Structure 1
Amino acid sequence: MGSLQYYSILKGENRPFTSQQLYRIFEKVADEVCPETVAVTFEDDSQRNNTNITYKQLNYLSNQLARGIVECVASVGGKSNGDGDYIVSVCMSPSDKLIITLLAIWKAGCSYLPLDPTFPKNRIEHILNESKPVLVIYDNTPDIDQSAFENAFSLNYDDLCNKCEKNHGSNLHENEQFHHEKDDLGIVLYTSGSTGVPKGVRLPFSIMLNRLQWQWHKFPYSYTEKYCIFKTALTFVDSVCEIWGPLLNGLTIVVVPKYITKDPVKLVALMERYQIERLVLVPSLLRSLILYLSLEKQVNPLKSLKIWICSGESLPVQLAEEFFKYFKGQRVLCNFYGSTEIMGDVTYHTVTDASELQGFDKVPIGIPLDNTIVYLLDNEMKPVSTGNVGELYVSGFNVAAGYVNGRDPDKFINNSLVLDIAHCRLYKTGDYARIVKGVLQYEGRTDSQVKVRGHRVDLAEVEKAVAATPYVEKAVCLCYKPGEIDQALVAFVTLQKDAQHITGLKIEDYLQQKLTSYMIPQVIVLENIPLLVNGKTDRQTLLKMYANTNNNGDNEIQIDIDYTDVPEDKMEAAKVLFETVGSVIGHSTRLTLNLKSNFYQLGGNSLNSIYTVTKLRDQGYIIAITDFIRAANMNEILYKMVKDTSNNGDDTNLNEIPNDYQFKMLRNEHQNDVCKMIATSFYEKADLEQWIKQDISIDDYGKLIHKAWDALIEKDLSFVVCDKNDELIGVALNFDAHDEPEIEINSRIAVILEFLEFIEAPVRDNLLPPGKGSILHCFMMATKDTISSQENVLLMQAMEAEMLRLAKRKQFLGILTTNTSPLTQQLGKDVYGYKIMNDYQVNQFVANDKSRPFAEAPDSQRAMVSWKEV
């Protein structure tokens, strides 16, 4: 990197660069490098869908679809828009189909424009009317309002595929494609507009490739990195690197359904299962993950995850320090800065230890990427002196090709500071910054834009929508505590004289049709808007008024708690729940708190939901995070909360066992489901396996069960559990302890079996009844990973009852089992009545090869061999 720091100019490294279309790079990888490698994997348990697509298949299917796009658009005489661009808009949920579609759009010679299915109809209509795509491709799902596409040529994905079944699957030649008139455009992304109207950013292939090549050089994929996750919304610029970074390097992308991205339990489990090594996230999500992992007391979590990339929001020093305090080992915490107009990221700063943050009051945004220059300029467009604050401008290969329809030309201006044609254009970011210790420090906005969960939101756009609401006379939109845990968008309004019946909640309901969800403010109705002596809005007084909302001030807006219909035996828990929720989201609370209230409609979000669960546990009430997140209302949360009378985290409620479970003896038709369930459960969640995870794979368990299968069927001591829909949700694999088969294991999980034999043999052979037919050995027990943690406990109770019935039916004298989980240990001892025969500290175990496979385990981790007489 070079610099002219005295003049507050920083230059990224100059690297040779030749522009290429990204799909041509993909085609070379698919045809020549790794055709049989899995390119895309998509698991959607909610739809029972599990798909793997190889590079060869992805290339073939996208070529077929590309020809179909060209044929369909040509059949209706589709033409480029006013910018000379051929745009295809995509309104689809994350899936393998989405990746095929995006690649096909590029291969057809078009650029893709994402539409989030949750966008309100008027926002979609504005985007389509301005960008004029030649085609809209959409999912045929209930959450997509197809009437928004009425003025555009649109096709359902499945219908489009049906038209392409007989198309050739070879790569398209140039004469088969559309061609943009000016730029080699790849993507159009719509962002919040400073004029109050969303505007589309035009991203050519060249700037995407420059950003990707810098990433591959600075943060190369490791030799152990096989999987990367695509979890970011397609409308967000970070999705570009999540999708195309891995796919242009022969790696596998794991497409994450939305319901998993919102659930930290499942997201962490997925990252553990695929040993994800890098993650892009906004700081608020990082805070949420640390809070969740701390709450769950996981030991050395996410060991494979070495590169953590924060972007989209300011990264507080305190959060970075918490990161290094919690995560041990070699980790890199990166702070990226940028916006859609400069390909998401244009500067970066890396931290490898908390000591590197000394002397900074905020984490720097760093230095420029390759082939870019950053300028800090004053009002006369002259560089400010080093250390002074200036407005941040960017030139180079990361600068977009302007906006759709040439909107806001003043944002992209000629650069008079250099003669190099590669830097002839400047992008005016609207951000202030200064140089401290040779790196950039972010100093705020020049306008009213803020970041909400990583999305850029212009308060002017929100304010304009609120002001246009019927009966609203005047509106002022502000952001309370931007970037902090209780950040909130707030709109203060006055009403017209005939609108006394209008409430803030009714205005918010109306805004649901006008703004996307993360842009909807809390609306507070006032008699008048306070003014300064110069006649301008007194914004500080409004923010202070909002801050005092729950502090008994003169402008207090009380949180209304209604305990109607709460049963007497639940009143104590209800008071704890309602008061905790009120204290956590008090500034965002919009409705009366009662049994019917939904946490998120009250103003909650994924971050403060975890904080709420933490505070409930501090007050002696246990509820699983997944249960809390998925609960429809407070009543459901209340009945899933369990009083922790022993302070041990046992969240059981064992008197409520569902009566719709079906128990069936293990049969051959269960083999595939059982293998998958055992593999998923033990690989992801088992307490011993975490210490040797780098040496095992999820397939090792499937191989183990396959080798033991014939013996399991022959002994007829194992059973499965099905729900009322006949879906297999649990399994118990059992043997006679004195009649177990010899199973040859060639993988590292052999050390797990060796350990279990080491601690069980002395009990079995010396302390328990001898002879065949006396001891039923519970070998493995697992439940389906998609069921809630509360149901998981209930299912375990039901399986335990079935174990007892089986043992009695087969005339065994008792049941032998080993528990390595604190929860199952507690259940076994205090609830099921097992007697602990051997309590072993797992880090003391020395294997036959003289290794200590669990040496990293804390002293508190135990394995308990237990016995229960029948």
Structure 2
Amino acid sequence: MGSIPEVSIIKGLNRDYSTQSRLHRIFETNLNSSDCGNKPAVIFCDPTNGDQNLTHNQLNQSANQLASVLIHRINTCEVEPNQDGDWIIAVCMPPSDKLIVTLLAILKTGAAYLPIDVTFPKSRIDHILQESKPAFVIYDGNIIDRSHFDSSIASSYDECKALSINYDDANISDARRLQSSDGGHLALVLYTSGSTGVPKGVRLPHAVLMNRLQWQWETFPFSSTESVGVFKTALTFVDSISEIWAPLLTQRAVLVIPKCITKDPTLLVSMLQKYEIERLVLVPTLLKSLLIYLSLKRDANLLNKLKLWICSGETLPTSLAMEFYDYFPENEYLLCNFFGSTEIMGDVTYFTCRGKDQLRNYTNVPIGYPIFNTIIYILIDDKKPVKIGETGELFVSGANLAHGYVNGRDKDRFIENILAVDPKYSRMYRTGDYASVQKGGVIHYEGRTDSQIKIRGHRVDLSEIEKHINEIDGVKKGIILCYHAGQMDQAVLAFVSVDHTSLLHELQIEQILRNKMPDYMTPQVILIDHVPLLVNGKVDRQTLLKLYENTNNNNDPAPAIDYDYSGVSANEMQKTRIFFETIGQVIGRSTRTTISLQSNFYELGGNSLNSIYTVAKLRDCGYSIDITNFISAKNLREALEYITEIDTNLDRNLVPVKADFVAYSLSEVYREETIRIIAHSFLEKAELEQQIKPHITEEAYVVLINDSWQPLIETAFSFVIADKKNRIVGVSLSFDANNEPECNLDGPHGVIFEFLETLEAPVKDRLPHDKPIMHSFMMGTHETLNAQENIVAMTFMESEVIRLAREKGCCGILTTNTNALTQQLARDVFGYETLSDTQINTFVFNGRKPFGNAPDDYRAMVQWKKL
């Protein structure tokens, strides 16, 4: 960093980056100059249809065709650029492979993309469209109704995709692109919360994105083994830019993870583990959630390849960073704290931590040092730099600055830099953040100058919430405050007084606000009789916060919460009391209403983070519930059905499985469905099969099942399951281990059968043989089941295996599991004993290791349940 200046002006390193390149042109150049065309570019974890993959060539070709459709539609509609001279195409789609195609296509047209979250209320969507005036809107017709948009300039993705087959897949020439007055510099527009109570759009050019990306590639380069990056952040959030384009523009793949997986630690960790992800961007609250989950699992191999953790969007407490290094080894894993906002491309300073010694003198982790081509100024009101150690307002100058706001709003945020010598630093952005420069030139965040806060990484202006709440009929006065701003227990509160004739209550007001704002902005509403005032007539904010604090005392182990045990049977009362009181202790401060069987955990005030706390505390009390089941339960009654008492002798009688399915004995009528489900499940999801693709095909399963069909029928240990619509959605195939048919080791399954036989043969020799032994060897589910439905179906089938084995007089059940889910179900839920635990990639067959490329944490467990 050079010598530390006397005043708080900190300059990042100069880099002569080529920032004139357009993102889509870099992507196209890579295809022409390398062999990445057939490598994966997009992997979408579709909970319904399984993983959807696109190569770089397929992505480019689909984007070219879609871009041609968009250009044609815009030209046909004869629309013009907006008053800023920008061509904008709005996109309202959830995360998917289709979304990535759409974003690349929009850039190829010469336009900028404007993300609109599919969960936004219609009023917010209307404001964004009316102000930004996009030339076209493309949306997901399966989620968003056409009435949200002017149909003359809007189409669903499927409609556009159907038209795209009429166009060739060549790259879009400059002559065909939409021509703007500035040469098409704009890459995207992101809307943020506004200080006037109205959201405002930030205009981000390609050059700004390229400065940020090139700094990242040089400072935190991808490793030689890092082939996949993660896109899990909302598209409306600035961090999504680097998540998507950093891997794609370096010839890597981007793994698209939908929200339903992101909010469930079990599913998220499994996905990160499966694709051997090496870096992750996340807010501190999600980091906290993952650390709690990892401590519960007690598996040192989980996320052991994820070496770079990047926190941004919220203050990072030192205590949380210390917890990180309680789990991960120091000096091997990097924990970074990035600072910035949408107006400065998300990140302009960074702090890299390698261990606890760097953190001991800090309450919060510093925001660090400027990135390349950036100057940070800490100034006082008259734009004079403060001395080292003093606090002032943080200003940013350099290559990361946006080109202002849509329609030129809030010009006072982007101002002339009177301190600049170099013309490239002639503008500066006023962040509204307080900061200081401490010993060593490191920058510390010191809070906000205004009413803005960060919620889940999104910047929110409290005045916007206040504006909406005071517009509600029946509300006399609404005051919005933030309790413990920037801390892990941060809470946005709305203290509301209503007309004496009004029948409004807290939850009703919250629902009205949800129809006007995104969910993450909705405050907890607290009704008050009158607004307390100071002697000068201003609102007494501290009294209101004390009212909240005293009513919901975090230090009280049993907050004053109403519990309603109506409908709870006597034999369930102890478990229910522990369950309800655990929830009360975890979310007592924000509990909205009485806790009862009908309550929904999230409507009570729960969230993803404290859901993990709840599961952890329940375990401490001697009760267990799968995290996924708890998160997805419709109400506490449903969650209660999944809670079991922790018992080392746990068996099926203590495993509650909802009767969502019915089992039918295997018969000829189910042959076709059995083959299809088993073939898809094992070909697409089984760990062993993934390692020997493409040598194993669907035809191999057809031959295998047909060859085994008659013995399966005769043994009568196998079954299918049907859902409530009587659709076959699961198959379980089993033999008697004492009388199994011979397997053909010459076929494509040979290496797999040889591996399984190597593991199982020594175990079988030790088992009793005076009674039948059910050998559960194949279990699969229908590809249309989402992640939660799949777990429920698998749990039901595992329970049915135990029931059937008892019915048939078996002495026990033998199974070999290579899937983490079935291993967990067998061990933690159904009480199987693990007799053999083998690292898959160590197996040698005919002088080679057929599974040698499998990760070290892929295990094969031979498990046994004595009956």
TM-score, structure 1 length as denominator? Answer: 0.88
Match of 1:674 in 2: 678
| Cα shift readout 1:820-868 (whole Å, capped 9, x = no counterpart) | 94753577768xxxxx8x956879x9988999x9xx999xx99676486
CA distance in 2, matches of 1:221, 1:803: 51
CA distance in 1, matches of 2:444, 2:287: 21
Q: 1:30 Cα deviation (Å)?
A: 2.9
CA contact (8 A) 2:397 2:428 kept: yes
| Cα shift readout 1:196-222 (whole Å, capped 9, x = no counterpart) | 111100000000011011111111111
What amino acid does structure 2 have at the position aligned with 1:677? S
Alpha-carbon distance change, 357 to 162 in structure 1, aligned in 2, over 3 angstroms: same
Structure 1 residue runs of 5 or longer lacking an equivalent are 684-688, 690-695, 831-835
Match of 2:510 in 1: 508
CA contact (8 A) 1:284 1:483 kept: no
Match of 1:473 in 2: 476
CA distance in 1, matches of 2:836, 2:102: 54
CA contact (8 A) 1:230 1:242 kept: yes
Alpha-carbon distance change, 9 to 734 in structure 1, aligned in 2, over 3 angstroms: farther
CA distance in 2, matches of 1:90, 1:256: 18
Q: 1:522 Cα deviation (Å)?
A: 1.1
What amino acid does structure 2 have at the position aligned with 1:407? R
Match of 1:42 in 2: 44
Alpha-carbon distance change, 727 to 841 in structure 1, aligned in 2, over 3 angstroms: closer
Q: 1:630 Cα deviation (Å)?
A: 0.7
| Cα shift readout 1:598-643 (whole Å, capped 9, x = no counterpart) | 1111221111111111122222222111111111111111222223
Alpha-carbon distance change, 388 to 675 in structure 1, aligned in 2, over 3 angstroms: farther
Q: 1:254 Cα deviation (Å)?
A: 1.6
Q: 1:171 Cα deviation (Å)?
A: 1.0
Match of 1:626 in 2: 628
Match of 2:211 in 1: 210
CA distance in 1, matches of 2:350, 2:104: 29
| Cα shift readout 1:233-292 (whole Å, capped 9, x = no counterpart) | 110011111111111111111211221112111111111111111111100001011112
Alpha-carbon distance change, 606 to 865 in structure 1, aligned in 2, over 3 angstroms: closer
| Pair 1:194 & 2:195 matched | yes
CA distance in 2, matches of 1:721, 1:221: 46
CA contact (8 A) 1:708 1:743 kept: no
CA distance in 2, matches of 1:444, 1:154: 42
What amino acid does structure 1 have at the position aligned with 2:202? V
CA distance in 1, matches of 2:244, 2:827: 42
Structure 2 residue runs of 5 or longer lacking an equivalent are 713-717
Alpha-carbon distance change, 177 to 561 in structure 1, aligned in 2, over 3 angstroms: same
| Secondary structure of the corresponding residue to residue 250 of structure 1 | coil
Match of 1:365 in 2: 367
| Cα shift readout 1:1-38 (whole Å, capped 9, x = no counterpart) | 45653211111111111221101011112344211112
| Pair 1:463 & 2:466 matched | yes
CA distance in 2, matches of 1:80, 1:816: 67
Alpha-carbon distance change, 209 to 733 in structure 1, aligned in 2, over 3 angstroms: farther
| Pair 1:322 & 2:315 matched | no
Alpha-carbon distance change, 655 to 507 in structure 1, aligned in 2, over 3 angstroms: closer
CA contact (8 A) 2:61 2:170 kept: yes
Match of 1:294 in 2: 295
Match of 1:833 in 2: none
Given candidates 347, 351, 354, the residue that maps to 1:352 is 354
CA contact (8 A) 2:655 2:830 kept: no
The 5-angstrom pairing of residues 650-729 of structure 1 reads: 652-653=654-655, 660-664=662-666, 670-671=674-675, 673-678=677-682, 683=687, 698-699=691-692, 703=696, 710=703, 713-716=706-709, 717-718=711-712, 719=718, 721-724=720-723, 725-729=726-730
Alpha-carbon distance change, 544 to 270 in structure 1, aligned in 2, over 3 angstroms: same
Match of 1:105 in 2: 106
Match of 1:527 in 2: 529
Match of 1:282 in 2: 283
Q: 1:755 Cα deviation (Å)?
A: 6.0
What amino acid does structure 2 have at the position aligned with 1:42? F
The 5-angstrom pairing of residues 114-129 of structure 1 reads: 114-129=115-130
CA contact (8 A) 1:203 1:343 kept: yes
| Secondary structure of the corresponding residue to residue 789 of structure 2 | coil
CA contact (8 A) 1:264 1:289 kept: yes
| Secondary structure of the corresponding residue to residue 223 of structure 2 | coil
CA distance in 2, matches of 1:763, 1:435: 68
Match of 1:444 in 2: 447
CA distance in 2, matches of 1:315, 1:98: 31
Alpha-carbon distance change, 485 to 682 in structure 1, aligned in 2, over 3 angstroms: farther
Q: Which moved more, 1:225-234 or 1:648-657?
A: 648-657
Q: Which moved more, 1:788-797 or 1:705-714?
A: 705-714
Given candidates 585, 588, 591, the residue that maps to 1:586 is 588
Match of 1:612 in 2: 614
CA contact (8 A) 2:202 2:406 kept: yes
Q: 1:550 Cα deviation (Å)?
A: 3.0
CA contact (8 A) 1:261 1:267 kept: yes
| Cα shift readout 1:717-742 (whole Å, capped 9, x = no counterpart) | 45463433534434336585676547
What amino acid does structure 2 have at the position aligned with 1:451? K
CA contact (8 A) 1:735 1:779 kept: no
Alpha-carbon distance change, 707 to 159 in structure 1, aligned in 2, over 3 angstroms: closer
What amino acid does structure 1 have at the position aligned with 2:241? V
Q: 1:708 Cα deviation (Å)?
A: 8.4
CA distance in 1, matches of 2:762, 2:124: 63
Match of 1:487 in 2: 490
Q: Which moved more, 1:544-553 or 1:606-615?
A: 544-553
Match of 1:230 in 2: 231
Alpha-carbon distance change, 776 to 466 in structure 1, aligned in 2, over 3 angstroms: closer
Q: 1:674 Cα deviation (Å)?
A: 2.5
| Secondary structure of the corresponding residue to residue 94 of structure 2 | coil
Alpha-carbon distance change, 140 to 332 in structure 1, aligned in 2, over 3 angstroms: same
TM-score, structure 2 length as denominator? Answer: 0.88
Match of 2:715 in 1: none
| Secondary structure of the corresponding residue to residue 582 of structure 1 | helix
| Cα shift readout 1:345-377 (whole Å, capped 9, x = no counterpart) | 111111122222122221111111111111111
CA distance in 2, matches of 1:139, 1:190: 20
CA distance in 1, matches of 2:566, 2:584: 17
| Secondary structure of the corresponding residue to residue 81 of structure 1 | coil
| Cα shift readout 1:760-798 (whole Å, capped 9, x = no counterpart) | 26537xx757xxx98765445566765365553332021
Q: 1:402 Cα deviation (Å)?
A: 0.4
Alpha-carbon distance change, 827 to 209 in structure 1, aligned in 2, over 3 angstroms: closer
Alpha-carbon distance change, 372 to 290 in structure 1, aligned in 2, over 3 angstroms: same
| Pair 1:15 & 2:15 matched | yes
| Pair 1:381 & 2:373 matched | no
Tell me the matched-pair count: 835
CA contact (8 A) 1:679 1:702 kept: no
CA contact (8 A) 2:775 2:815 kept: yes
Alpha-carbon distance change, 746 to 165 in structure 1, aligned in 2, over 3 angstroms: closer
| Pair 1:243 & 2:261 matched | no
Identity %: 44
Q: 1:72 Cα deviation (Å)?
A: 1.0
What amino acid does structure 2 have at the position aligned with 1:15? R
| Pair 1:342 & 2:355 matched | no
Q: 1:567 Cα deviation (Å)?
A: 3.0
What amino acid does structure 2 have at the position aligned with 1:565? G
Alpha-carbon distance change, 395 to 151 in structure 1, aligned in 2, over 3 angstroms: farther
CA distance in 2, matches of 1:259, 1:431: 33
Alpha-carbon distance change, 647 to 484 in structure 1, aligned in 2, over 3 angstroms: farther
CA distance in 1, matches of 2:608, 2:554: 28
